Structure 1
Amino acid sequence: MHPILNDIRLVSFDLDGTLVDSVPDLAVAVDASLGELGLPAAGEVRVRDWVGNGSLKLMERALTFAQGGPPDRELLVRAHEAFLEHYGRDPGSRTCLYPGVRECLDALRARGLTLTLVTNKPFAFIRPILAQFGIDQHFSLCLGGDSLSQKKPDPAPLLHVAAHFDQPPGACLMVGDSRHDVAAGRAAGFRTLAVPYGYNHGEPIRDSQPDALVDSLAELV
């Protein structure tokens, strides 16, 4: 067992870029939404650098790219509604589970740790994606970016999770792929562990100074 888990009783995982590579499906929905507005497609490579702050921010970044400047509120709302519709039709057919994830979740659950999911993805899309990989039953609580009034990097979702299970933050671990995960975990008083293969706006996650870094979640167990 990785030493970061010593005395840890609850582990919160990020979803996109940590457990699953969802960018192929996100990019299809982004580009379909831009196309409805007569704007050029962004493409998967660009979308990969835009993920991490929720779907509204994703579409704001896409529109800023497509029209060469920040969108007004009306356009952003229209584009976001289109994105939710397109993504909701098919949130997972191109999404894949990262290597080592299933082994990690199975082992942590077998050891009696409480596993939770804290993502900035809208809540409605969480369960279908987890279910298609058969890992939905691993998590005792899931929070989306719209579950509370705040989302990562605000520590509120993590503090909510800790309080829900009556655990002190010092007995909790945040696992993610981006600076937002590390910042939220640190602010909440959680230990932090990061993976380098996800989405961090093109920046090395090591620069965010997580408490630990692993190349695969299989290294946790």
Structure 2
Amino acid sequence: MKYTHVLFDLDGTLTDPYEGVINSFKYVFRHFGIDEVNEEKLARFIGPPLGNTFRDEYGLTGKDNERALEVFREYYADRGMYENRVYDGIEDVLRQLTDSGINCAVATSKGQAFAEKVLEHFGLARYFCDIAGSSPDGSLSEKADIIAYVIAKHSLPKTKTLMVGDRKFDIIGARENGIDSLAVGYGHGLWEELDAAKPTYYCRDMESLAAFFR
């Protein structure tokens, strides 16, 4: 394989956080008195920075935006992060890569501390040389910036580094950093979204992802 370093998104790529994220959103909406019951709509918010979602979709700005993030994290820290599941087959893919000498890291918009706890909880942290997420103060939150941080921190060769994710933010972030991308179709990104983002590669399911790295 031409790549020596592979960066993975977390939500929708390594684990399916659907239940915990949806319940965390509902907890925020109860706090603010927002009437939102469309879970299909909420599922589209798995992956992008939370602050952007609360601002762009629900008009929560300034102090309200900060409070929405706090309330979301209250539920998520207590229960939401564990209302989650590892995608069947992804650990085999990670084991295959590390056994082949490929260096793997995580680049996620999820909060750094939450990402570390989720991966430790599910026994996946051992496959990664680094777990990079958004910072508590919001200074590091956009996917492109998080990818850039990992590349710079480890002096990764861009021609040999691949970003794997399920949303357009992963694909666009990779392109902005001059690295190739692989979109997976088993997560929360719709095909139309991923196709429009123009990933370097596309794997519809876990079987094709495993075959890609074989």
Q: TM-score range by the shorter chain?
A: 0.7 to 0.9
Identity %: 25
What secondary structure does 1:50 align onto? coil
Q: Is the 8 A contact 2:10 2:106 kept in 1?
A: yes
Q: Is the 8 A contact 2:6 2:102 kept in 1?
A: yes
Q: Is the 8 A contact 1:11 1:113 kept in 2?
A: yes
User: Which of 162, 170, 173 is the matching residue for 2:162?
Assistant: 173
What secondary structure does 1:144 align onto? strand
Residue in 2 aligned with 1:17?
12
Residue in 1 aligned with 2:115?
126
- Equivalent residue letter for 2:12: G
- How many angstroms does 1:185 deviate by? 0.8
* Cα distance in 2, alignment partners of residues 75 and 160 from structure 1: 29
User: Which of 158, 166, 184 is the matching residue for 1:195?
Assistant: 184
* Cα distance in 1, alignment partners of residues 179 and 88 from structure 2: 25
Q: Does 1:34 align with 2:29?
A: yes
The answer to which of 144-153 and 176-185 deviates more is: 144-153
Q: Is the 8 A contact 2:108 2:146 kept in 1?
A: no
Residue in 2 aligned with 1:157?
146
- How many angstroms does 1:61 deviate by? 5.1
1:25-60 superposed Cα distances (whole Å, 9 cap, x missing partner): 011111112112233244532211122222222333
* Cα distance in 1, alignment partners of residues 149 and 68 from structure 2: 31
1:80-136 superposed Cα distances (whole Å, 9 cap, x missing partner): 211111111123332111122111000001111111000001111112211222111
What secondary structure does 2:35 align onto? coil
* Cα distance in 2, alignment partners of residues 61 and 23 from structure 1: 21
* Cα distance in 2, alignment partners of residues 94 and 33 from structure 1: 16
The answer to which of 21-30 and 73-82 deviates more is: 73-82
RMSD: 2.1
Runs of 5+ unmatched residues, structure 1: 1-5, 65-69
- Equivalent residue letter for 1:22: P
Greater relative CO (CA pairs within 8 A, separation 6+): 1
Residue in 2 aligned with 1:3?
none
Q: Is the 8 A contact 2:15 2:85 kept in 1?
A: yes
| TM-score, normalisation: structure 1 | 0.85
Q: Is the 8 A contact 1:196 1:214 kept in 2?
A: yes
* Cα distance in 1, alignment partners of residues 184 and 104 from structure 2: 17
